[in-house]
């Protein structure tokens, strides 16, 4: 029996609340790397955190669930998301400054 290829997906996530200055970016990168996701995370001028993550659909879903709480010091008030285009050139997961 042939292995079924895993479904890949990409998602854009914006996280609001107390999410800057609480290691949200570093924690997101660590979680994403554990889940074998590619992409990036960055702070926005309006105090939100923006994430682009792509990889196996189940791993993307797990990261999205994790973002609802974030690291210990974070206080997430809202998450918005939208499907993103899968970028085959993307490798690794980086914290953007």
Tell me the catalytic residues: 25, 43
Q: Phi then psi for 45, rounded to 5 degrees? A: -60, -25
Q: Which residue has the tokens 């990409």?
A: 10
Tokens at 8, concatenated: 């890949």
Q: Which residue has the tokens 């570093």?
A: 26
Tokens at 42, concatenated: 């960055």
Which has the closest alpha carbon to 50: 9, 92, 21, 11?
11
């Amino acid at each position: 029996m042939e292995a079924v290829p895993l479904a890949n997906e990409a998602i854009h996530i914006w996280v609001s609340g107390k999410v800057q200055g609480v290691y949200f970016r570093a924690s997101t990168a660590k979680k994403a790397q554990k889940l074998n996701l590619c992409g990036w995370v960055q702070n926005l001028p309006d105090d939100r955190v923006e994430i682009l993550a792509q990889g196996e659909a189940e791993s993307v879903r797990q990261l999205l669930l994790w973002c609802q709480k974030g690291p210990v010091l974070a206080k997430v008030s809202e998450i918005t998301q939208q499907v993103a285009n899968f970028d085959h050139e993307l490798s690794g997961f980086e914290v953007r400054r």
